[in-house]
């Protein structure tokens, strides 16, 4: 609470009397202010005036109900000048004026009644002190605290206890408002810092946006230019196509059947191209077949050379082999390169050599006739077909001809087969010339 100087009003009055030459009567402000509230009755309906309130109520009434700017305008209007005092001095001076019914107090009374017209009407509905206390409790939690405060203190049913309660609540609320204001100020400063950061970020974002907009505009202009060029090319192409179609229609009209002949020419070109491709493929196949044939000849010559080399010891040492004078020896199967070696070996024993490849190139019917002409049969099972194998086996079983089956086709195997066919050995066989 502000504590104004009790002699300030008297000093101001005396100074004004000296300036105007008026006579000042002796007045005791304290006795007047102390007797005025006691004279107010709680049984009437007249509202209390500002100067009728207790002295300790003037400070919160002036501080809460009137903004400092409005208070300064009010005092300037009453004094018909401009107050040079600061806010605190102005506040204390108005409080001192409100202790009595002065022009300043009446002006403050009228201003507060004007500002708090609606709360005054609402508070007037309370006919008892309890109803007024209830209304204050509800209105103090609303948005117009100043109006509720002024309407409650000046109400005709406001007792000293209710006034003390209201003043205490407003006093504590002022402390809370001051603390909240400091908190809000700190929060406001934080918001200012955050706003500065956001402003910098927004400026950077605007720069990026401007740069991207410029790039997009440039790309759009480039694309528009390309679109125009493509449209021009498309129009030119359509024009050429239309001209060619007209020329084609003219040619078709001039030469009937031109379209079918053109299609036949295209088909002929395709067939010629396919024929050339087939010829290239055939030439490649012939070249590959020639390479394979030469390789096969080389392998056959190498195999014949090896068989001849392997048969030399047999021919040099053929004494254990039997003689087959005037007997036909049929050899079924065997490698073609080894056939000359087999022939020479059989003929050196005095026999007649017969051969069938086992179904590789010779027909099965020829095998039957060859088996019928043979006296002895040597079947090399590793080089014949299944059909030839069963034909040989069945014929020898039916006719009782001697037959030897050799698994691996070689000169040594043929020698062993000859030994099995005729177990009676001869003394010697002449060497080949």
In a domain? residue 307: no
Which pLDDT tens digit goes with each residue over 212-265? 999 999 999 999 999 999 999 999 999 999 888 888 788 777 777 666 777 888
Under the banding of pLDDT at 50, 70 and 90, the label for residue 395 is confident
Give yes or no: residues 166 and 179 share one domain.
Answer: no
Sign of CA dihedral 80, 82, 88, 89: negative
pLDDT digits (tens, 9 = 90+) for 62-84: 888 888 888 888 888 888 877 77
- Overall average pLDDT of the 200-205 stretch: 92
**Do 193 and 341 fall into the same domain?**
no
131 plus 211 within the same structural domain: no
pLDDT per position as a tens digit, 333-377: 877 777 787 787 778 777 888 888 777 776 777 888 888 888 888
d(CA 121, CA 132): 12
- Are residues 69 and 197 located together in one domain of the fold? no
Of the residues 236, 253, 270, which one is the last residue of a structural domain?
A: 253
> Does the pLDDT value for residue 194 go beyond 80?
yes
Q: Which residue has the higher pLDDT, 400 or 323?
A: 400
Residue 269 lies in a domain: no
Asked whether the beta carbons of 62 and 71 are under 8 A apart, the reply is yes
Q: Which pLDDT score is estimated for 308?
A: 61
Residue 274 in any domain: the answer is: no
Q: What percent of the chain clears pLDDT 90, i.e. is strictly above it?
A: 12
CA pair distance 6, 27, nearest whole angstrom: 12
Give residue 23's pLDDT: 41
pLDDT at residue 420, rounded to an integer: 66
For 338, the domain range is 318-421
**Do both 26 and 112 map to the same domain?**
yes
284 occurs within a structural domain: no
- Can you give the pLDDT at residue 36? 40
Residue 300 CA to residue 10 CA, distance in Å, equals 152
User: Is 138 within a domain?
Assistant: yes
DSSP 265-323: HHHHHHHHHHHHHHHHHHHHHHHHHHHHHHHHHHHHHHHHHHHHHHHHHHHHT-TTSPP
Dump pLDDT digits (tens) for 252-306.
Answer: 777 776 667 778 888 888 999 999 899 889 988 988 888 888 888 788 777 767 7
The three-point CA angle 182-187-192 to 5° equals: 125
Please determine, for residue 40, whether its predicted confidence score (pLDDT) is greater than 90: no
- 296 domain residue, yes or no: no
**Residue bearing the bigger pLDDT, 216 or 433:** 216
Co-location of 179 and 35 in the same domain: no
Shared-domain flag, residues 200 and 130: no
With tokens 């108005």, the residue in question is 94
pLDDT at 41 over 60: no
Region 13-34: mean pLDDT is: 43
**Tally of structural domains, the chain:** 3
What's the pLDDT tens digit per position in 401-421? 888 888 766 666 666 777 666
**What span, in angstroms and rounded, lies between the C-alpha atoms of 172 and 105?**
26
Residues 150 and 246 in one domain: no
Q: Which of 173, 191, 218 is the last residue of a domain?
A: 173
168 and 207, same domain (yes or no): no
Q: Are residues 78 and 184 in the same domain?
A: no
Direct distance between the N- and C-terminal alpha carbons of the chain, in angstroms, rounded to an integer? 157
Confidence of residue 13 (pLDDT cuts 50, 70, 90): very low
Residues 361 and 227 in one domain: no
């Amino acid at each position: 609470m502000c504590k104004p100087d009790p002699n300030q009003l008297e000093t101001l009055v005396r100074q004004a009397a000296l300036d105007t030459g008026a006579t000042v009567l002796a007045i005791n402000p304290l006795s007047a202010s102390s007797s005025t509230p006691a004279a107010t009755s709680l049984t009437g309906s007249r509202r209390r005036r500002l100067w009728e309130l207790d002295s300790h109520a003037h400070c919160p009434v002036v501080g809460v109900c009137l903004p400092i700017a409005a208070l300064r305008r009010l005092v300037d209007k009453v004094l018909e000048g401009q107050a040079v005092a600061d806010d605190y001095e102005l506040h204390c001076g108005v409080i001192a004026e409100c202790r009595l019914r002065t022009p300043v107090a009446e002006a403050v009374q009228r201003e507060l009644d004007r500002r708090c017209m609606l709360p005054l009407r609402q508070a007037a509905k309370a006919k008892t002190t309890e109803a007024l206390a209830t209304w204050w409790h509800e209105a103090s939690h609303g948005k117009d605290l100043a109006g509720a405060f002024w309407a409650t203190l000046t109400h005709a049913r406001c007792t000293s206890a209710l006034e003390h309660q209201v003043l205490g609540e407003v006093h504590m609320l002022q402390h809370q408002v001051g603390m909240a204001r400091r908190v809000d100020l700190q929060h406001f400063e934080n918001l200012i810092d955050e706003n500065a950061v956001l402003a910098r970020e927004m400026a950077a974002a605007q720069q990026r946006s401007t740069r991207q907009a410029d790039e997009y505009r440039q790309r759009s202009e480039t694309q528009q230019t390309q679109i125009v060029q493509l449209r021009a090319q498309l129009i030119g192409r359509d024009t050429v196509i239309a001209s060619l179609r007209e020329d084609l229609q003219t040619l078709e009209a001039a030469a009937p059947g031109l379209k079918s002949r053109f299609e036949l020419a295209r088909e002929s070109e395709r067939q010629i191209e396919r024929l050339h491709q087939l010829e290239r493929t055939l030439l490649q196949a012939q070249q590959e077949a020639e390479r394979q044939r030469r390789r096969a000849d080389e392998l056959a010559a190498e195999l014949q050379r090896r068989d001849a080399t392997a048969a030399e010891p047999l021919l040099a040492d053929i004494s254990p082999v039997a003689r087959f004078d005037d007997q036909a020896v049929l050899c079924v199967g065997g490698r073609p390169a080894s056939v000359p070696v087999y022939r020479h070996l059989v003929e050196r024993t005095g026999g007649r050599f017969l051969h069938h490849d086992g179904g590789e190139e010779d027909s099965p019917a020829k095998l039957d006739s060859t088996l019928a002409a043979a006296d002895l049969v040597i079947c090399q099972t590793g080089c014949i077909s299944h059909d030839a194998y069963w034909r040989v086996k069945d014929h020898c079983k039916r006719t009782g001809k001697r037959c030897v089956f050799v698994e691996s086709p070689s000169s040594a195997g043929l020698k062993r087969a000859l030994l099995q066919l005729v177990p009676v050995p001869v003394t010697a066989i002449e060497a080949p010339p």
